[in-house]
Structure 1
Amino acid sequence: MRIVTLVENSRANEDCIAEHGLCIYIETEKHRLLLDSGQTDAVIKNAQILGIDLTAIDTVILSHGHYDHSGGIMPFSQINKTARIFMQKSAPEPHFNGERYIGIDKDILGLPNVSLIEGDVQLDDELFLFSGITGRRCYPQGNKKLTCEKDGMKVPDDFVHEQCLVITQSGKHWLLSGCAHNGILNILDRYKEIFGNVPDYVLSGFHMMKNDGEHTDEEKAVIIQTAKELVKLDTIFFSGHCTGIPAFEMMKEVMGDKLRALHSGEEVSL
């Protein structure tokens, strides 16, 4: 299996664009797919630089209904009109950070190849989507500012719109999440409910980024406790984007080589 970080906040390839967003390109035996699409058309430009043919993509998975994961879908749709695009049916609901709209471009819903799904879906023997994450262990503190609109009212976002992709390949299992808004430990708990074990690899943001000063003691405690729980598992983690550099470094001190960084233009190496 081949995995390339097409869009991420930082870059390994100086020719590639870095932006606040995430897009992962994946080649399996049966598929060429994208997890998310970044914030802008950077996915198109970076793919050209890296020699990745986006017209060959057959599947796009939107991890949740935020602009920095969905913004590249409309530019992508101009060059690829056949790839199936899967999102949870609640992903198009309005989402906000304070007063700022952070939801998806509503034009996406006009694309004929968009599938709105609900709950868990087995796409085939390689690809499985799950949601229904209800646990709140080490819940990301940054979620406190995020809301969604239901029945005309802004309410705390419950992240029902978040879904995770599981890829089975060569006897190994990959778990991929865009931001892990529900908390990576709770996502792993849900994974264990379904599969009875832990994945071999996890690729996900951890939504621990802090944009307005240093982390509070409470936030640091959640970050460190999360790392202490993850390092116990027989799993390798790749993270970036909304994890944030300070949080990543705190977790890296605990997890060592079990935690590895993502960068635009870089192929994930095992």
Structure 2
Amino acid sequence: MSTPTDNSQLRVGLVAINRLTITFLVDNSIEWFAKLPPGFKLELPQHLSDPRTVKDPLTGVPIINLEDFCCGAHGFSALIETQRDDDEERHLTLFDTGPDSKSIVRNVMAMQVPVDQIERVVLSHWHSDHSGGMLSFLQMRSPGAPKCVVDLHPDRPTARGIAIPPTYETIIGRLPADPTFELIASAGGVVEKHAEGHTVAGATVYVSGEIPRVTTFEQGLLGAVRFVEEDSKPGRWTSEPHIMDERYVAVDVIGKGVIIFSACSHAGIVNVVKDAVQRFSRPIYMIIGGLHLGSADLASRIAPTVDFLANQLRPSPTYVLPMHCSGFQCKVALDSALGEGCVPAGVGVKIEVHGDRDQEDRLSCPTFT
């Protein structure tokens, strides 16, 4: 059994907050009808309760104008709004930007996001289904808006591609190019390169550094390849399963615990959770994002992943939101193990998490086997 390491340097100054609001701006799934826990709100009732929604002159009821609703896309983006206390300054952080120039723009408009107030974009890793909307997002901002920081890992690849099983020697294609540092700056972003963990948004959001790989069954993205250029030699593709530039984001809510955002979990979500537990010595309240267990060659990882989250981690997470690249079988397994603790979230869903100071002293220090 492992318990958190009592090391103040590991905690890097993350401040527990009293109010967190999450809005999912890009995801593979659209969820209109699911029963969600308290604090979660589907997109449709958000539109219907908005006073700006046009009413039908014939019937007098609001029009469900599907032109103004979110669209799904293979990628991820979440707007994270943090506030230490209700009367203190709020911070808006955008975690990833989806796969393309269109979905992020449409969905930001659908959810009425105040783009000029977003202080920082954090890119989880250099894959275009997470970076593809970055330039179009930056270009949405008003000319006079405060500068937006773009928080990036410095190791930007020339190109990344996909090889297929069983040998992973056949490369079927390369991903679209991630935006360059120069293009980001020319679009108005202030480039910050970080390989180490650090806090942002007034110390209310933690952006991880390199995620330690400690599990035996999480072996990265087996078909990942990277194009490497060398001086005086032709470029070549090389296997790169571990995607070491990947980072997760964490927020700590008073009386609840840590909320983890892991956009793709190439490191393995168990490795991510273990790092967060060791780093913050706080229970894991919510796990959000892609678990990358959807493809057939990764199916063997589903059972040990679910077993860790449901049985080995104590206390187990209150909620797990398997999104983006998690896959159907993973969602079924989590639903079977966690019941209502597995939440079918999708693009357009909004979550409000409020701190509970009365519960703060009752939180138990997490352990895992």
Aligned to 1:165: 249
Q: Is the 8 A contact 2:258 2:282 kept in 1?
A: no
CA contact under 8 A between 2:134 and 2:179: conserved in structure 1?
A: no
Q: Equivalent residue for 1:86? A: 151
Deviations 1:46-75 (A, max 9, x none): 121122221211111111110111111010
Counterpart contact for 1:37–1:43, Cα < 8 Å: yes
Kindly report which structure 2 residues correspond to 1:47-196, keeping only aligned pairs within 5 A, or say none: 47-80=108-141, 82-98=147-163, 99=171, 100-102=173-175, 104-112=177-185, 113-123=190-200, 124-133=202-211, 134-139=213-218, 143-150=221-228, 151=230, 152-157=235-240, 158-171=242-255, 172-196=257-281
Between structure 1 and structure 2, the one with the greater Rg is 2
2:222 aligns to what SS in structure 1? helix
What is the aligned length? Answer: 263
Partner of 1:149, secondary structure, is strand
1:39 to 89, 99, 120: 99
Task: Give the Cα separation in 2 of the matches to 1:140 and 1:206.
Answer: 13
Instruction: Flag the 1:27–1:258 CA change in 2: closer, same or farther, 3 A.
Output: same
Kindly indicate which of the two structures has a greater share of residues assigned to helix.
1
Output the CA distance in 1 between the equivalents of 2:339 and 2:156.
Answer: 35
Deviates more, 1:122-131 or 1:102-111: 102-111
Q: 1:255 to 1:119 in 2, by over 3 A?
A: same
**What's the secondary structure of 1:226's corresponding residue?**
helix
**Deviation string for 1:174-199 (max 9, x for gaps)?**
11111000100011122223223442
Please give the secondary structure, in 1, of the residue aligned with 2:284. Answer: coil
Deviations 1:219-240 (A, max 9, x none): 4431011101101333121121
What SS does the aligned partner of 2:339 have? Answer: helix
Supply the RMSD in Å over aligned alpha carbons: 2.2
Alignment CA distance shift 1:183-1:54 (3 Å): same
C-alpha separation between the residues in 1 aligned to 2:219 and 2:105?
Answer: 31
C-alpha contact 1:34 1:60 (8 A) present in aligned 2:
yes
TM-score, normalization by structure 2 = 0.66
Contact 1:8 1:262 in 2 (8 A): no
Q: Please, which of 218, 243, 248 is the counterpart of residue 331 of structure 2? A: 248
Letter in 1 for 2:183: G
Cα pair 2:252 2:259 within 8 Å, conserved: yes
Q: Any idea what SS the aligned residue of 1:44 has?
A: helix
In the TM superposition, what whole-angstrom CA distance separates every residue of 1:11-38 from its partner, at most 9, and x where no partner exists?
Answer: 1356211011111112111311111011
Moved more, 3-12 or 104-113: 104-113
1:103 Cα shift?
Answer: 5.6
